[in-house]
Amino acid sequence: MSAPSVSHSSQPRQMTDYPVYHEIARNQGPKMQKINDTITSLLTKVQQRDVAAAEKIVQLSSDLCEIYYGVMLRDIYFTFSMNLEQHLWKQAFYKPIEVFKSMANSPKDSSRLFRSQLLLLLNKGIAFYERLIALYETELDVDVEKAALFQFDSDGNFWNVCLSPNSPDAESSRRKVR
């Protein structure tokens, strides 16, 4: 199979133009689709207050993340052009978070159990991004701290972003707090 020709037209490349697409579709695609379909069907059960279904979704989200980790660095242009990270976020986290949130905020007795699963899923989402950033830094030789448009706290903890004290955003935040 020959590589796709490089075109200088304004049209973006199609997903199928990338050789890695066919490899992923053949190898990981069926499993990714099965997990996504299972999550979708389990979300219906969660809406019927099935806590075991919520627990299974949390596990399947982790399974889906593992598959994506194995795929994302095969062809970085494909990964970024096709927004693979965003697809994963929607499949593994966004949809379940929305459903878990509604269950956790209900007045029913089981809301505490759904809140627990929601927190677990959120923590897994944070861990996914921490691991993905570390993977990008290692594999792509990128220093996120140097490339970021904001300052990190003194410990270099990505999730504790702090604004530069003299930045317009920091001033705006101070005005809102007062």
Read off the pLDDT of residues 83-111 as tens digits, 9 standing for 90 and up: 999 999 999 999 999 999 999 998 888 89
Least confident of 39-48, 142-151, 166-175: 166-175
- Distances in whole angstroms, Cα of residue 17 to Cα of each of 22, 81, 98: 9, 11, 34
What are 63-87's pLDDT values in tens digits?
A: 999 999 889 888 888 888 889 999 9
On whether the CB atoms of residues 3 and 31 are closer than 8 A, the answer is no
E strands of the chain, at which residues? 151-152, 161-162
Residues 112 and 81 in one domain: yes
When pLDDT is cut at 50, 70 and 90, the band that residue 11 belongs to is: low
Residues 60 and 117 in one domain: yes
The strand pairing partners of 152, in sequence order, are 161
Give the range of the structural domain holding residue 20, as residue numbers without chain letter.
15-142
The pTM of this model reads 0.74
Residues 102 and 71 in one domain: yes
What are 126-149's pLDDT values in tens digits?
A: 999 999 989 889 988 888 888 877
- Distances in whole angstroms, Cα of residue 26 to Cα of each of 31, 36, 61, 99: 10, 16, 21, 31
| Averaged confidence pLDDT in the chain | 82
Q: Within a domain: residue 7?
A: no
Residues 39 and 106 in one domain: yes
On whether the CB atoms of residues 94 and 102 are closer than 8 A, the answer is no
Angstrom distance (rounded) from CA 40 to CA 45: 9
Q: Within a domain: residue 8?
A: no
